[in-house]
Structure 1
Amino acid sequence: MRFGVTGHRSLPPGIAGCAVDHWRRVLPTGANLLGVSSLADGADQLFAAHVLAAGGTLEAILPSPWADYAGTLAPDGGRTRLEGFLRAAATVITMPFTEPCEAGYLAAGQAVVDRCDHLFAVWDGLPARGPGGTADIVAYARARGRPVTVLWLDGVRRA
C-alpha cells in the first residue's frame, strides 16, 4: 500500500506528536512502507521524516521546480529539509508549473491522492485558506473514494 499525506504547514503544539504516534502504531516499517508527500513545511515534511526513519520509501510530488518551491519554505530549516528529502526520495515528480502557485499546490495535492491508497490529513477540519489547501485535497480524496484518516486533537486551534 501507498500512503499519502496532506496537512497544514504550521502545526500547533501537540499535533505533530499526535500524528507521529498514530503513524508509529498503524504504518508498516521497512520496505512495506511507501509514502507520498509534497514536502511542504509542517505535516508533509513530518510525514516524510517518519517514512524515512521507519526505513520506508519516499515519493515526492513537487508543485513546481524545487529551486523555486524551496523559496516558499521556512528559511529556518524547511528549505534544508526539502533538499535532504529530495536526495532521499526514490521518485521525484514535478508538476508542470514554472513557479509556485495555487494551481500547482492543488495539482500536487491531487497527484498525492492519485498515487496513494490511503491519505492521512493533519487537518483541523476547517475550509482551505486558498485553492489547494488541505480541505481541498481531503475533498478530492473523498470524492475518489480514498480512505482518509484525519489526525487532529479536539480543542486545538491553528494559528
Structure 2
Amino acid sequence: MARIGITGHSNLTADTVPLIRAALATALAPHTAEGDLVGLSCLARGADQLFAEAVLDAGGRLEAVLPSADYREAKVRADELERFDRLLLRSAFVRYMPHRSAGKAAYADANEAVLGGIDRLFAVWDGKPAGGRGGTGDAVEAARTRGVPVDVIWPEGAARER
C-alpha cells in the first residue's frame, strides 16, 4: 500500500492548474500499480485539492486531515465550498485536529498528522523558501529530515499568483 501526502502552494495561477493536474496524475501512476493507494490531504485550495482529486481519479482512497473544528467555516471561501464539500464527502476517513479554531498551531498539528501517516510526500513547490513558518518549504524540510521521500512537482511553466 502506498500512503502519499501532499503539501503545496494554494495560490496557483489559473494556467498552472492543468499543468499540476497532469503532473500529479503522472506522479501517482506508478503507485496505483502497487495496489491500494491512499492520499492524505488537508483539502486546502490549490495543490491539496488538486492532489485529492488526482488520488480519487486514480482509484485511490482519500483521507482528509482538517486543522480545526471550524476549518470549513473559517477558512474555506464561499466560492470554494462546493468543491471542498465534495472532496470531504468522498473522503474514506476524516480526521480533525483537536483545535476549535484554525490557526498556526492547528496547521502545524495537521501537517504533523500528514507527515506521520505517510511513506512519501508530494510537494507542489516552486523551490523557494517558506514565506513564514509552516509553509511548503518547511513541510519538505521536515519530511526530508525524517527520511520521508519527497517528490517535488513543479512543471515547466508553473507559476504562483503574487
What is the TM-score of this pair, normalised by structure 1? 0.88
Aligned residues: CA RMSD: 2.0
- TM-superposed CA distance for 1:42, in Å, is 0.5
2:68 is matched with 64
Map 1:87-126 onto structure 2 (within 5 A).
Answer: 87-126=89-128
Output one character per residue of 1:114-158: Cα deviation in whole Å (capped at 9) or x when no partner.
111110001111222232211111111011000101111356542
2:151 is matched with 149
Give the distance between the partners of 1:35 and 1:104, measured in 2 at CA. Answer: 20
- Could you tell me which runs of 5 or more consecutive residues in structure 1 were left unpaired when the two chains were aligned: none
- TM-superposed CA distance for 1:32, in Å, is 2.2
Give the distance between the partners of 1:155 and 1:56, measured in 2 at CA. Answer: 28
- TM-superposed CA distance for 1:14, in Å, is 4.3
- Could you tell me which runs of 5 or more consecutive residues in structure 2 were left unpaired when the two chains were aligned: none
Give the distance between the partners of 1:55 and 1:156, measured in 2 at CA. Answer: 26
1:39 is matched with 43
SS in 1 for 2:4: strand
Q: Is the Cα contact below 8 Å between 1:31 and 1:55 reproduced in 2?
A: no
Structure-2 change in CA distance of 1:30 and 1:14 (3 Å)? farther
Q: Report the number of matched residues.
A: 156
What is the TM-score of this pair, normalised by structure 2? 0.86
- TM-superposed CA distance for 1:91, in Å, is 0.9
Q: Is the Cα contact below 8 Å between 2:6 and 2:47 reproduced in 1?
A: yes
Give the distance between the partners of 2:146 and 2:123, measured in 1 at CA. Answer: 15
SS in 2 for 1:84: helix
Q: Is the Cα contact below 8 Å between 2:24 and 2:153 reproduced in 1?
A: no
Structure-2 change in CA distance of 1:139 and 1:109 (3 Å)? same
Amino acid at match of 2:96: T
Which range moves more in the overlay, 149-158 or 112-121? 149-158
Give the distance between the partners of 1:150 and 1:127, measured in 2 at CA. Answer: 14
Give the distance between the partners of 2:27 and 2:141, measured in 1 at CA. Answer: 23
2:140 is matched with 138
Q: Is the Cα contact below 8 Å between 2:88 and 2:94 reproduced in 1?
A: yes
Report percent identity of matched pairs.
45
